Amino acid sequence: MPETPSVPPSVPQCCTSTRRDGAPCTAKAGALGYCIGHDPGALEARRKGGRATSRAERAAKLLPTRLHPMVSLLEDALGEVHRGELDPRAASAMASLAGALVRTITAGELEERLRALEARGAGKASP
């Protein structure tokens, strides 16, 4: 009968820390007896792991640079509407104009890309 590997008695199988609700942590422990969430030595790794991984951060990277101020303005307007400092109709008008601006910029960028592709294709065509 094959032997099952045993865990050395000095290394607990579960984390020795407690959760926020006071219950014992049931996550698998590392060499120091803590899970990755409670290991004091892993604090920097936890901070680094959460940076720039949100959908908002990824979307901001894809957004053309010249649209960043408009997004910031719309975010501010949203907060102002929420606090009652800006009439919702004014914010709606801002969002409508911003949408028109985005469509115009997108159309212009697509036109530029199309012209570049056509120019590349014209250079390769033989008479």
- Mean pLDDT, rounded, for 42-60: 70
> Which pLDDT band, with edges at 50, 70 and 90, does 111 fall under?
very high
Among candidate residues 97, 42, 28, the one with its CA nearest the CA of residue 67: 97
Percentages helix, strand, coil for the chain (3-state, rounded to 5) are 60, 5, 40
Q: What confidence score (pLDDT) does residue 6 get?
A: 53
- Mean pLDDT, rounded, for 26-52: 78
Which one has a higher pLDDT value, 52 or 65? 65
Q: Which long-range contacts (CB under 8 A, 24 or more apart) does 68-77 make?
A: 70/98, 70/101, 70/102, 73/98, 74/98
- Mean pLDDT, rounded, for 46-62: 70
Q: Per-domain residue ranges for the chain? A: 1-42, 63-124
> Which pLDDT band, with edges at 50, 70 and 90, does 127 fall under?
low
Is the pTM higher than 0.75? The answer reads no
- Mean pLDDT, rounded, for 73-98: 94
Is the pLDDT reported for residue 27 higher than 60? yes
Least confident of 18-22, 48-52, 64-68, 105-109: 48-52
Tokens representing residue 57 in the block = 């951060």
Is the pLDDT reported for residue 126 higher than 60? no
CA dist., res. 26 & res. 70, Å (int): 46
Among candidate residues 72, 44, 40, 64, the one with its CA nearest the CA of residue 113: 64
CA dist., res. 81 & res. 58, Å (int): 26
Q: What confidence score (pLDDT) does residue 60 get?
A: 76
Q: Which residue, chain included where needed, has tokens 């099952």?
A: 4
pLDDT averaged over every residue in the chain? 82
Q: Which long-range contacts (CB under 8 A, 24 or more apart) does 68-72 make?
A: 70/98, 70/101, 70/102
Cβ atoms of residues 64 and 109 within 8 Å: yes
